[in-house]
Amino acid sequence: MAIEIKVLGPQDTGVLANIAPEVFDDPIDVGRADEFLVDPRHHLAVAIEDGRVVGFVSAVHYVHPDKPRPELWINEIGVAATHRGRGLGTRLLRAVFAVARGLDCAEAWVLTDRANTAAMRLYAAAGSTEAPTDHVMFTFKLDTGTAPGGPGGVAGAADAAPASVSSRGRR
């Protein structure tokens, strides 16, 4: 049977009831899925075969005070091991790109590790241009109280005079 690519909407949480192994990192929390799907800035495209989700891409479009148009941040992509290498990742990306174009987004972007060869191949196949420099992602564990400004947090370099810093190296 053909694999359908579908961008989910607020009434589509039930689609996430039947998911192939290794698609999502963790089991679906129905309440969080509802919350995600009703937020108009959140986007979830899924690949469905015989009523079962075999792949997905999640993304968020956002606006910024110094950007003339919105941008789309691709959060995560997952495809069941049984369905990898069939072009589903590219089809899923194209589905969220279509949504982004409809929202007048200027660009879509994603971060990955160079060592993630599957992701590197996918993004190249989908028509991306690789950034000329390496990027580093930092994670702040907000619920542990160790991030600056939180309970138990300590002042440090992050509390110094602010500079114009972008997560993507642009000003």
Q: Which domain holds residue 58?
A: 4-135
* Alpha carbons 67 and 57: distance in angstroms, whole number: 24
Q: What pLDDT shows up at residue 135?
A: 72
Look at residue 92 and tell me if it is in a domain: yes
Provide the token pair at 64.
């910024």
Percent of the chain scoring above 70 in pLDDT: 82
pLDDT above 80 (res 17)? yes
Q: What pLDDT shows up at residue 170?
A: 37
Look at residue 26 and tell me if it is in a domain: yes
pLDDT of 119-166, one tens digit each? 888 888 888 877 766 777 777 778 876 667 655 555 444 444 444 444
Domain count for the chain, please give it: 1
Tell me which amino acid residue 121 is: R
> Quick one: 80 exposed, middle or buried, by C-beta within 10 A (0-12, 13-18, 19+)?
buried
Q: What pLDDT shows up at residue 86?
A: 92
Do the Cβ atoms of 108 and 96 come closer than 8 Å? Answer: yes
Mean pLDDT throughout 17-35?
A: 96
Do the Cβ atoms of 52 and 45 come closer than 8 Å? Answer: no
Q: How confident is the model at residue 169 (pLDDT cuts 50, 70, 90)?
A: very low
Look at residue 86 and tell me if it is in a domain: yes
Going 141 to 158 to 167 to 113, the CA torsion angle's sign is negative
pLDDT above 80 (res 32)? yes
Look at residue 162 and tell me if it is in a domain: no
**Mean pLDDT across the chain:** 85
Look at residue 22 and tell me if it is in a domain: yes
Instruction: Name the one residue in this structure whose structure tokens are 């191949």.
Output: 121
Look at residue 11 and tell me if it is in a domain: yes
Going 153 to 73 to 40 to 51, the CA torsion angle's sign is negative
pLDDT above 50 (res 93)? yes
**The CATH number of the domain where 35 resides is what?**
3.40.630.30
Please give the model's pTM, rounded to 2 decimal places: 0.80
Look at residue 74 and tell me if it is in a domain: yes
Q: What pLDDT shows up at residue 126?
A: 85
